[in-house]
Amino acid sequence: MSRLTLWPVAASEQAVRIDALFAGLLVLAGVILVLVGGLMLVFCARYRRGSRARRGELPKILRRDVEIGWTAGTLFLALFLFWWASSLALRGNEAPPDALEIHVVAKQWMWKTRHPGGAREIDALHVPRGEAVRLVMTAQDVIHSFYVPAFRLKQDVLPGRFTEMWFRATRTGAYPLFCAEFCGTQHSHMGGTVTVMEPEDYARWVAAQPQEQDLPGEGAALFTALGCAGCHAPSAAVHAPRLEGLYGRPVQLADGQRVQADAAYLRDSILQPKRAVVAGYEPIMPAFEGLVDEADLQRLVAYIQSLGEARR
């Protein structure tokens, strides 16, 4: 048994802010609990049967006025808490554009991570301290949840969809990673370690990893192999949307909607191109649903991303 702690280590920028909110709520809840519990105990002692405390008529103020008062008071308090919590949630919502992008694939019962340079890990993730890290995650089977208590962050990882989370680690060290969404037999074994390193140590670590072709490189090979290049390459004769600089840009669709060309959009457009046709193009692209797996999709999306991100 290790030594007793009551407050978990805070190792990310978000953790510090969330801890402040948590502490605030703790104080508030404590005050309310002491108030209600204290009043109950005082009343129970003072107005026990047969005590000589004065009873009789309730003071006038203790009727409708006080009732309306504490209803309004509680409502204002609730609205204040909503404002506090939500402004905090919105503040940390968007990842910075220059965040280091790491891909995560969850499967029963394993975490696979992949760094921009192509380094791969299983049940482990090394990240540099002080740099924003964006995780782009998907699952191969059921829903999992990527949970690092020291970062106070958790995000469900879904099959057939990309979800994202980002953090900026502030303390070096090794922190437990858990799967937080029940995912079958060995759910409780599906954990790992997130190691926060100094940036130069991280650079050294990445360099020491066996270098494979990186994700965009593999994506480029697939892009040709699957025939995508036949239409989407700049030299192609077919009238198809160009992909250079597409990533992150708003796209005008044929049905009048505008969508952001993010990973989820690209993914959907590869799998079911007819769902969101770009304005000015014929819906001629075949659906790749069932032809490419999740890992291939990540490669393709990474390749498209590498063709140049639009200015944000």
Partner 1 sequence: MSEALVQRDIPDAPAPGESYLTAGTGLASWLLTTDHKRIALLYMAAITFFFFLGGAGAVAMRIELFTPQADLLSDDAYNRAFTFHGVLMVWFFLLPSIPNILGNFLLPLMIGAQDLAFPRLNLLSWYIFITAGGLAIYTLLAGGVDTGWTFYTPLSTAFANGHVLAAAAAVFIAGFSTIATAVNFIATVHLLRAPGMTWFRLPLFVWAIYATSIVMVLATPVLAMVLLLIFAERAFGIPIFDPLRGGDPILFQHLFWFYSHPAVYIMVLPSFGVISELIACYARRRVFGYSFMVYAILWIALVGFLVWGHHMFVSGQSMLANLAFSFLSFVVAVPSAIKVFNWTATLYRGQIIFDAPMIYALGFVGLFTIGGLTGLFLASIPVDVHVTDTYFVVAHFHYIMVGGAVSALYGGLAFWWPKITGRLYPEGWARFAAVMMFFGFSFTFFPMFVMGFLGMPRRYHVYVPEFQVWHVLASSGAVVLAAAYLLPMGYFAWSLVWGKRATANPWEATGLEWQTASPPPAENFATPPVVTQAPYDYHPEHSGPPAIERAAQRPQGHQP
Task: Please list every residue from 183 through 222 that binds partner 1, using CB under 8 A.
Answer: 183-189, 191
Q: Which of 13, 88, 116, 209 binds partner 1 (CB under 8 A)?
A: 88
Residue 55 contacts partner 1 per CB under 8 A: yes
- Angle, helices 263-271 vs 294-306, to 10°: value is 120
Host H or E run for residue 145 = strand 144-148
258: amino acid identity, one letter? R
For residue 71, give the 3-state DSSP assignment: helix
How buried is 87 (Cβ within 10 angstroms: 0-12 exposed, 13-18 middle, 19+ buried)? exposed
Residue 43 contacts partner 1 per CB under 8 A: yes
Note the residue count of the chain: 312
Q: Which of 181, 218, 269, 299 binds partner 1 (CB under 8 A)?
A: 181
Residue 17 contacts partner 1 per CB under 8 A: yes
Site residues for partner 1, 93-152, by CB under 8 A, read 93, 108, 141-143, 145, 147, 149-150, 152
Residue 89 contacts partner 1 per CB under 8 A: yes
Residue 70 contacts partner 1 per CB under 8 A: yes
Task: Give the separation between CA 301 and CA 56, rounded to whole angstroms.
Answer: 76
For residue 108, the minimal CB distance to partner 1 (Å) is 7
Integer angstrom CA distances of residue 73 from 25, 31, 80, 86, 109: 16, 15, 11, 20, 48
For residue 278, the minimal CB distance to partner 1 (Å) is 22
Q: Which of 16, 27, 65, 79 binds partner 1 (CB under 8 A)?
A: 79
Task: Give the separation between CA 310 and CA 312, rounded to whole angstroms.
Answer: 6
Integer angstrom CA distances of residue 86 from 27, 79, 89, 199: 19, 10, 5, 32
The stretch near partner 1 (CB under 8 A) out of 10-18, 110-118, 214-222, 244-252 is: 10-18
For residue 175, the minimal CB distance to partner 1 (Å) is 9
For residue 305, the minimal CB distance to partner 1 (Å) is 20
Integer angstrom CA distances of residue 145 from 1, 193, 194, 218, 267: 27, 14, 15, 27, 20
Site residues for partner 1, 225-284, by CB under 8 A, read none
DSSP bridge pairs for 165: 135
Nearer Cβ to partner 1 (77/279): 77
Residue 291 contacts partner 1 per CB under 8 A: no
For residue 299, the minimal CB distance to partner 1 (Å) is 18
Q: Which of 13, 131, 156, 262 binds partner 1 (CB under 8 A)?
A: 156
Residue 153 contacts partner 1 per CB under 8 A: yes
